[in-house]
């Protein structure tokens, strides 16, 4: 199953019995705004509470560390997700960042039938997919629990060692001005991990905020990474990171959509690296 679904394709399967739609919008009033208007049948999943387990010190784990897999399993059961569910995730802003994080976690949990809605809620509404403004009612589900996340991840120590050995290509998907160190709107320090290259996640999208085609994405990343003396045939390990391990999943999703192997996610990302005492910080200003 391809990891991206269009609004037209979702409309065609909208009444499918095993379809579970997840609304992963973010913001201070995310749940309130969800209740005001969401795709009919969509169940709300919270980035900060369900897709992360935020600790006291972001220097160890970053701003959005992964939750315990047992806690995520409980979240999925409470959302009525079972082994045979076909899950479609959407959000509202930034071209699908939170939805991509949800996709990554579902795939890492071992669920295969999961897709991100290209263009999110706005594209779906424009395509005529029904909406609702009330709490959705659904039953809890059960499934076989997992012991570990099944997709590859890297720790801060892994990233540091791979860069030192020149055995990995580390991609920072944040906006270029943040990577260059011009300013930093979220974390405490501006700049980037020494040795990381910058390919902003926004380059995965077209002018309408929808994902580029797999063909275009494949050509794009092959060309970009040839400049880094590597390739996506994995002559080097590929490690993707962002600010807090959310937006990085957007590029991992795009790479999977383009037909490449799923690369490593550095979950702690810049929010962890920039706070960890003694870590070198690079700037281009």
Phi/psi of residue 178, nearest 5 degrees:
-75, -45
CA atoms within 13 A on the CB side of 206: 10
Catalytic residue flag (residue 242): yes
Pairing of strands 153-154, 86-90: unpaired
Given 69, 88, 171, 242, the catalytic residue: 242
Pairwise CA distance, residues 45 & 49, whole Å: 8
Pairwise CA distance, residues 241 & 124, whole Å: 29
- What is the spatial order of strands in the sheet that 264-266 belongs to? 153-154, 264-266, 237-241, 168-172, 197-198
Pairwise CA distance, residues 153 & 184, whole Å: 25
Q: Among candidates 26, 4, 1, 40, which has minimal Cα distance to 217?
A: 4
Would you tell me the crossing angle of helices 248-257 and 97-109 to the nearest 10 degrees? 70
Residues annotated catalytic, as ranges: 242
């Amino acid at each position: 199953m391809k990891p991206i679904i269009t609004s037209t394709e979702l409309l065609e399967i909208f009444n499918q019995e095993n379809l579970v739609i997840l609304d992963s919008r973010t913001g201070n009033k995310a749940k309130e705004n969800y209740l005001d208007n969401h795709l009919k049948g969509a169940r709300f999943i919270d980035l900060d509470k369900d897709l992360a387990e935020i600790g006291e010190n972001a220097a160890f784990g970053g701003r959005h560390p992964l939750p315990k897999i047992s806690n995520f399993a409980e979240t999925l059961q409470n959302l009525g997700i079972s082994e045979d569910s076909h899950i479609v995730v959407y959000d509202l802003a930034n071209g699908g960042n939170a939805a991509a994080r949800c996709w990554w976690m579902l795939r890492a949990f071992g669920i295969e039938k999961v897709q991100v809605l290209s263009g999110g809620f706005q594209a779906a509404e424009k395509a005529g997919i029904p909406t609702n403004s009330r709490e959705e009612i659904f039953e809890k589900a059960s499934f076989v629990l997992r012991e570990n996340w099944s997709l590859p991840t890297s720790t801060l120590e892994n990233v540091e060692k791979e860069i030192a050995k020149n055995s990995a290509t580390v991609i920072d998907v944040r906006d270029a001005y943040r990577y260059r160190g011009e300013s930093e709107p979220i974390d405490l320090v501006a700049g980037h991990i020494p040795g990381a290259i910058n390919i902003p996640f926004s380059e995965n999208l077209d002018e309408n905020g929808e994902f580029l085609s797999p063909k275009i994405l494949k050509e794009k990343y092959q060309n970009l990474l040839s400049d880094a003396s590597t390739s996506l045939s994995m002559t080097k390990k590929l490690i993707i990171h962002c600010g807090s391990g959310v937006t990085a999943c957007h590029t991992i999703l795009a790479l999977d959509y383009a037909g490449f192997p799923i690369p490593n996610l550095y979950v702690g990302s810049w929010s962890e690296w920039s706070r960890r005492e003694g870590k070198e910080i690079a700037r281009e200003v």
